[in-house]
A and B are shown apart, each in its own frame.
Chain A
């Protein structure tokens, strides 16, 4: 009798656990949102929310490893569909999209979140807060910015990818595939939104006919898009963040452009306050490979000169770049955050000091690979 009672208790206790997820739904009832886009709405205070969802054909093409003909212009069947909702809050726009769909919108497989550069600071705050609170959002999705209308961005279908939203994962998971690693996860964006005196940078997504171009960064100031860096300046930012993997530079030598490639940098910042003024020193160690050099000359003799010339050129360019950023009071290097952690309530002092900071850049270069033909 006692054993029977125990068995009954066991069944009662374990029963609910064996029933599976109460919210389990068939895949056909679930719309896997692969990309989210946030742009300005028709009215000033409105947000436009875009969701890119795979079609059954799109899912089939992924299952078949992209054998369904890709998503490029050649295929007549769309692999994804883009739904749009507008409203003052994300929740309202979300509800509008839900009304357009006969499936449950599921954010657990999110691949990318794209922010229009036209969003205001207040709108970015609303979006950041919503994304932080939504427990189901996959925080490892990539964050990007776009100047082009999001409709256009989300309707671009890169020919090399079986489905457009999968492009980002392929692009960013390969560190050797980019000059500068511009991958930004959504959680790191939320993190920067919460921190004081720190500005955000995002990779700029530029749609082309059947491809995306990704070699520029957007700098934000107080969560408002402020500057779009040129590819060259993005490379400089990459050295400072340790993200440039395949940088390149030319140094003239008797009219011959000596070129260095495959450049990466380890960078260290230190701050001093002599006489109450902020002095920031940047130490860079650059590694690279000699690429172009006159074939009839012995490169070995000229390596010290080449290293010094590269160091000088990069240091000068970095100095100008850092000074221009600090004059605009843009800090994407987290220097203010580290300072304010140790000195809370000194936000105004830091802001003033950073704007007038004196920068020094020390760069050393090692050419590790001289190639054939020494």
Chain B
């Protein structure tokens, strides 16, 4: 029987990544992209997807600076204190925006389509409470919950998207334009990059993967980007083909609106597509839980606290803070503006810091090596040391 540890398997890690990719985009995509890129939407999407691969590659490089240490453990060693603190504060602030957007999106979807008279805070509080609970027992419990909830939700979602294919009436819009215009493609790619935001958690998650599993996890990271990209490509093809690009721009949640058209006669719940949207709460839930966990793992090293009580206190405190911040959002237009504001900052941060981080790490390592002189000849490790290095602790 597999031992219970604080580690997660590569598959669980990949699912956490994937849930991260879908956390914000699943409701809103592809409205912003089609509005900005027009008939160049496919090229904007491909650009965004390509940049996501580059971002993942960079963040894996960061994780490999010291595969046994979390991002902020590494950062403390290679950065001066004030840079370290600045890095931590910016990272925390940006990451608090993500669950606000995700929670806000879900709350407004539920109140718009399902429970118009239910106070939105009840929806948000429930989701936040469960997200807090899922994160309560640290990463392994969070990862297992993800496996249990996320996989069935996505399988049903893809099945239902297939049921939409007969509704495709505007197939012309599914074809990419051959008249490629650079600016709309670039702008659309940037505007829609929120669909891939979530992978910046890689260097924080990395030490929780067993050393011997890390090469596999590395491959799985790319599989997660590929899986997310394919899912979004299906969503885009189906929603654009069903709703046509002009109508789609008017819809705040094009995917949800498309799924509402599914009407399976003969079933007790004939509006199956609408039902699955409630299950998409799982995606928001996992996304928020991972953010709670990750932000806590940024803050705790900064304040030199590592016990589980501090962890739980921090998770609870963040959950309350995020819930209160979401309560200040009056309508979906504010969430929309917040996303528009957050994406360029996030892209700049996620693609900007890894090269500097890696450069600083390499410089410091080589300086230390010079100071220490030539490396001593490799010595044979004891069995205990080997076990420790492999991560069986």
Question: Count the A residues whose beta carbon is within 8 Å of the partner chain — how many?
Answer: 32
Bound complex: CA A16 to CA B116 (Å): 16
Chain A positions within 8 Å of B245 at CB level: 341
Taking the nearest CB of chain A, how far is it from the CB of B308, in angstroms? 10
Does A13 have its Cβ within 8 Å of any Cβ on chain B? Answer: yes
Contacts of B251 in A (CB 8 A): 132
Q: In the complex, what residues of A have CB within 8 A of residue B177's CB? A: 342
**Is B116's CB under 8 angstroms from A135's CB?**
yes
Chain B residues within an 8 Å CB radius of A187: 257, 260-261
A191 within 8 A of B: yes
Judging by beta carbons under 8 Å apart, are A188 and B265 in contact? no
Question: Are B170 and A10 closer than 8 Å at their CB atoms?
Answer: no
* Contact in complex: B129, A14 (CB < 8 Å): yes
- Kindly list the 8 A-B residue pairs having the minimum CB-CB distance in the complex, ordered from nearest: A13-B129, A23-B117, A22-B118, A135-B112, A338-B172, A194-B247, A191-B247, A195-B246
A337 interface contact, C-beta 8 A: yes
Contact of B129 among A12, A22, A136, A188 (CB under 8 A): A12
CB distance from A200 to the nearest CB of B (A): 13
Q: Jot down 15 A-B pairs with beta carbons below 8 A, ordered by A.
A: A13-B126, A13-B130, A22-B122, A23-B118, A135-B112, A140-B260, A140-B261, A173-B265, A187-B260, A194-B247, A334-B170, A337-B170, A342-B172, A342-B179, A344-B38
Q: B173 at interface (Cβ–Cβ under 8 A)?
A: yes
A342 to B176 Cα, complex, angstroms: 9
Interface contact B116-A17, CB-CB below 8 Å? no
Chain A residues whose CB sits within 8 angstroms of the CB of B130 once the complex forms: 13-14, 17
Look across to chain B and name the residue whose beta carbon is closest to the beta carbon of A21: B115
- Give the complex CA separation of A195 and B113 in angstroms: 24
CB-CB contacts below 8 Å: A1-52 with B: 6, 9-10, 12-14, 16-17, 21-23
Kindly provide the distance from the CB of A201 to the nearest chain B CB, expressed in whole angstroms. 13
User: B243 touching A136 by the CB < 8 A rule?
Assistant: no
Dominant SS at the B interface?
helix
Cα A227 to Cα B129 in complex, Å, equals 58
CB contact list, B36-65 vs A, under 8 A? 38-39
- Within A319-356, the residues touching B (CB, 8 Å) are 334, 337-338, 341-342, 344
In the docked arrangement, what's the CA distance between A136 and B114, Å? Answer: 7
Q: How far is the CB of A279 from chain B (nearest CB, A)?
A: 18
A190 at the interface (CB under 8 A from B): yes
CA distance A194 to B35 in the complex (A): 13
Is there an interface contact between B113 and A135, defined as CB atoms closer than 8 Å? Answer: yes
Among B39, B119, B250, B260, the residue within 8 A (CB) of A344 is B39
A196 beta carbon closer than 8 Å to chain B: yes
Most buried by A among B177, B179, B247: B247
- Neighbouring B residues of A17 by C-beta, 8 Å: 126, 129-130
B136 within 8 A of A: yes
Which among A6, A9, A132, A338 is the interface contact of B250 at CB below 8 angstroms?
A132
Evaluate contact between B265 and A191: CB separation under 8 angstroms: no
Say if the beta carbon of B147 comes within 8 Å of chain A.
no
**Whole-angstrom CA separation of A344 from B40 in the bound complex:** 11
Q: Which residues of A contact B243 (CB under 8 A)?
A: 191
Give B262's nearest chain A residue, CB to CB.
A140
**A139 sits at the interface (CB 8 A):** yes
Distance in Å from the Cβ of A271 to the closest Cβ of chain B?
11
Complex contacts, A362 vs chain B, CB 8 Å: none
> Shortest CB–CB separation between residue B273 and chain A, in angstroms?
10
Give the docked Cα–Cα distance between A313 and B113 (Å). Answer: 50
Interface residue? A185 (CB, 8 A): yes
Other A-B pairs beyond A23-B115, A23-B116, A138-B271, 5, CB < 8 Å: A9-B133, A13-B130, A13-B132, A136-B113, A140-B271
Could you tell me which residues of chain A, from 189 to 245, have a CB within 8 Å of some CB in chain B?
190-191, 194-196
Q: Give the docked Cα–Cα distance between A21 and B244 (Å).
A: 34
Report A242 CB to chain B, min CB distance, Å.
Answer: 10
User: Could you say which of A6, A135, A173 has the most chain B C-beta atoms within 10 Å of its C-beta?
Assistant: A135
Q: How far apart sit A341 and B133, CA to CA, in the bound complex (Å)?
A: 47
* Across-interface contacts of A337 in B (CB, < 8 A): 170, 172, 244, 246
What is the minimal beta-carbon distance from A114 to any residue of chain B, in angstroms?
20
Of residues 263 through 278 on chain B, the ones whose CB sits less than 8 Å from some CB of chain A are 263, 265, 271
The answer to whether A136 and B39 touch across the interface, beta carbons within 8 angstroms, is no
Which listed residue (A6, A9, A21, A191) contacts B118, Cβ 8 A?
A21
Interface check B125, CB cutoff 8 A? yes
Task: Determine whether B169 belongs to the interface, using a CB cutoff of 8 Å to chain A.
Answer: yes
**Residue picked from B117, B246, B261, most chain A C-beta under 10 Å:** B246
A173 and B266 CA atoms in complex are apart in Å by 12
Within 8 A of B (CB), among A155-186: 173, 185
CB distance from B381 to the nearest CB of A (A): 38
Closest chain-A Cβ to B284's Cβ sits at a distance in Å of 14
